[in-house]
Amino acid sequence: MLPPRIVRRVVLAPLLIVLTPVLLLTLPAWLVLGTAASLGTPPPRRRGTRFVWFGAACLTLECALLIACLGLWVASGFGGRLNRDQYQDRHYALITWFLGKVYGAAESVFHLAVDIHEPLLTPADRAALRARPVIVLSRHAGPGDSFLLVHHLLARYGRRPRIVMKTKLQFDPSVDVVVNRLPNALVPAKGGRRRVIGEIRRLASTMDSGDALVLFLEGGNFTPRRRRLAIRQLEEKGLAEEAARARRLEHVLPPRPGGAIAAIDACPAADVVFVAHTGLDDLVTLGDMWHRLPAAARITARWWRVPAPEVPREREARIRWLFAQRERIDTWIAANHTTPRSTQTAIFHDKDPK
């Protein structure tokens, strides 16, 4: 059960700030333990020390983020002006800095590389795109994909992401503080579909040209078990056509269309961006990451945009369209899953790939 906000602010956040220096002071001991834990494991060697170094870097960055957030809270009149644009912009800049540093740590420790495949835009195309909000519908699979997506939206493309996430993430003090100061939505894991849809509508309805609403249509990371369960649920609802199409999807779950449709209805001027990625898909649990994280982690992604005028307007047509996009993502993953290419280009182009 999530503690009340006052407990999280007065206990959890200070506890993190206190424990991090303790960890850093005892870092040699943790590195020895990490080395010992790595003995007898398959290559790459020193996997334990890699996790220790990355954990220490993340905790240090979280402390810096929390201290900076405290400074902004004081500067805003002890929270009285946090909703003003200048403080919202400062928080987005702070998140950009934080995620950039975490990404840099992942590059250094895990040799992470992210390759994005997409045609370049002309300057005129870029100017037209910046004039509209976007709804980003991403695949959800592998560790940290949501953080990588938010990092790229902020740092590379200058978008302000809005995210619907589970309330349990507020156990992380830095996520708790920052997320609650910006236009995001936090919903319980069993909070009901109606509440989730309502929050999506709320976030989408106030978007402007610099915003991006981020949704994961699966509702959770892809696993074979979740795939089977999703197909069974479609069959139980009597949706035979959707169930048949879902059975043809091998790498993604069938879409839950309610959230995407609600977002499009609430912000019909938004372009829709689809995200396919692969590389660390099979790392679902901590055990998977420990035993199977490669020496050099590589994620290959492709993003494409459907302009707002080309998005279907009727509900049934939208559902078929969303399934078609999932099929394209599934086909792309099958083609790039084992032999990723290394071309990195811009994120948004102006037509759906054929």
Q: Which residues are registered as beta bridge partners of 301?
A: 116, 277
Q: Please state, in angstroms and rounded to a whole number, the distance separating the CA atoms of residues 330 and 277.
A: 10
Residue 124's pLDDT band, with cuts at 50, 70 and 90, is confident
DSSP code at position 8:
I
For 157-166, write each residue's pLDDT tens digit.
Answer: 889 999 988 8
Predicted local distance difference test score (pLDDT) of residue 222:
82
Q: Is pLDDT above 50 for 344? A: no
| Mean pLDDT of all residues in 25-42 | 90
| Mean pLDDT of all residues in 294-323 | 92
| Mean pLDDT of all residues in 70-99 | 96
Residue 353's pLDDT band, with cuts at 50, 70 and 90, is very low
Q: Is pLDDT above 60 for 298? A: yes
Collect all residues with Cβ–Cβ distance below 8 Å to 295 and sequence separation of at least 6.
43, 44, 111
Predicted local distance difference test score (pLDDT) of residue 354:
40
Residue 41's pLDDT band, with cuts at 50, 70 and 90, is confident
Predicted local distance difference test score (pLDDT) of residue 221:
79
Q: Is pLDDT above 60 for 349? A: no
| Mean pLDDT of all residues in 329-333 | 93
Residue 338's pLDDT band, with cuts at 50, 70 and 90, is low
- Residue indicated by tokens 């009340």: 4
The chain-wide mean pLDDT, for the chain, equals 88
For 253-275, write each residue's pLDDT tens digit.
Answer: 888 889 999 999 999 999 999 99
Which amino acid, one-letter code, is at 240? A
Predicted local distance difference test score (pLDDT) of residue 220:
73
Predicted local distance difference test score (pLDDT) of residue 111:
92
**Token code pair at residue 122:** 């002309």
b/e 206-219 (16+ beta carbons within 10 angstroms → b): ebeeebbbbbbbbb
Mean pLDDT highest for which of 20-34, 226-240, 292-306? Answer: 20-34
Residue 352's pLDDT band, with cuts at 50, 70 and 90, is very low
Bond preceding residue 3 cis, omega within 30 of 0: no
Report whether 157 contacts 96 (CB < 8 A). Answer: no
Collect all residues with Cβ–Cβ distance below 8 Å to 204 and sequence separation of at least 6.
135, 162, 213, 262, 263, 264, 266, 267, 270
| Mean pLDDT of all residues in 67-72 | 96
Collect all residues with Cβ–Cβ distance below 8 Å to 310 and sequence separation of at least 6.
352
Q: Which residues are registered as beta bridge partners of 296?
A: none
For the whole model, what pTM was predicted?
Answer: 0.89
Q: Is pLDDT above 70 for 347? A: no
Question: Which position has the higher pLDDT, 119 or 308?
Answer: 308
Predicted local distance difference test score (pLDDT) of residue 191:
63
Mean pLDDT highest for which of 190-199, 270-279, 292-301? Answer: 270-279
Burial class from Cβ neighbours inside 10 Å (0-12, 13-18, 19+) for residue 278 reads: buried
Q: How many CB atoms lie within 10 A of CB 342?
A: 9
Residue 346's pLDDT band, with cuts at 50, 70 and 90, is very low
| Mean pLDDT of all residues in 312-325 | 94
Per cent of the chain over pLDDT 70 is 92
For 198-238, write each residue's pLDDT tens digit.
Answer: 999 999 999 999 999 999 877 777 888 888 999 999 999 99
Predicted local distance difference test score (pLDDT) of residue 350:
38
Predicted local distance difference test score (pLDDT) of residue 345:
35
Predicted local distance difference test score (pLDDT) of residue 119:
54
Predicted local distance difference test score (pLDDT) of residue 140:
85
